[in-house]
Structures are given as structure tokens and as C-alpha cells.
Structure 1
Amino acid sequence: MAGHLGKTVAELEKELTSRELTEWAAYYQSSPFESEGVRGDMRQAITSALVAGMGGGDTDPQKYMPKYGKESKETLKQNVKSFMQKIRNLQESKNG
């Protein structure tokens, strides 16, 4: 979240209210930050297909999408759970 907002973690801990933190947590659940989700991969696949097409290659973005296995999906889920737990811990420290 700090990178998404262009601030350090220390700055966010000082400046973010509990309410703002709750709102960011809700936003993250509905739309994970690009570095955590597939959206960046999709955009890169589209760009790769465009560049490949310019050279006569395959223009199907699906050909350039990373193939995530079960382990990768589980790792992503665990990362999201870990992030949400850190948010809850920070909220508790601000409310406590």
C-alpha cells in the first residue's frame, strides 16, 4: 500500500487514520494493487502480443499470459491473507 500511495510505511503509520485504513483494506479486497494481481500481467501480455504482431508473430495475448499453477494461486492467496492480517494489526494498534 505504501508503494501504491508513494509513501513510506512509517509515513503511513503516522498519517493514516483507522477509518482510512479500513477503506483501503476494503478497496484492496475488491481490487488488489497491481503488483499483487493479474492485471499487470494482462497488460504486459497485450503489449507483448502487439510487439510480436509487429514482427509477424502471434497476436493472441493469451499466448503471453503467465501460466499460474496451483502453488502460485495458493501463494497469492496467502500473500493477500498476510497483507490483510497486517492491516488488521495496524488498525488494532491505532485503536488500542
Structure 2
Amino acid sequence: MLQLLQEIAARSSEWVELRYHVRRSKRISVRNGRLEESSTLRLAGVGVRALVDGVFGFSSTTDLSEEGIARAVSEAQGAARTSASAKREKIARL
């Protein structure tokens, strides 16, 4: 996953930050000493922060394919571009 995120970030002409997150949880339900339910849940996704024209845009996805992550990057950049026209104070650079 790290290599994929680095490759996608390197393709961007704008500054982008990609954060991969995984959350695992386990649920066990017991009644009167008997197991009623046992389940494991795993949620994963990528958060994107993009800086375009001095404004941040954000997006996230649970689609961990190359196309899904690239689409989230594009959405974050689009959000930043849309906000840039209305923003008075802009971030000079990171």
C-alpha cells in the first residue's frame, strides 16, 4: 500500500498528503455463559489533503484500488480549486 500511495502522490503536480487508515474491531456477545455472536470487522480507507492555489481540499475513499485513490486525489484537488476563488487569505507554501 505504501508504494501505491507514493506512486499516486508522485504523479500529482500539486502538493498532496495521503493517509492510509485501518480499524479492526471484534465483537463477542455472551448470554448465560453461552456464545451468541462473534464477529470481526475491518474498515480501511485513504484520506487525501491537497493544496491547490493556496487552499486545502479534502477527500476520502474506501476504494483502495489505484483508480479509487486517484479519484479521491482528483476530488480533493477539485474541492481546493473551487474554494480558491472565494478564499481571501491563502497558504503561501508548505
Q: Which structure has the highest helix share of the two?
A: 1
Q: Please say which structure displays the higher CA radius of gyration.
A: 2
TM exceeding 0.5: no
Scaled by the length of structure 2, the TM-score of the pair is 0.35
Q: Which structure has the highest strand share of the two?
A: 2
Higher relative contact order (CA 8 A, sep 6+): 1
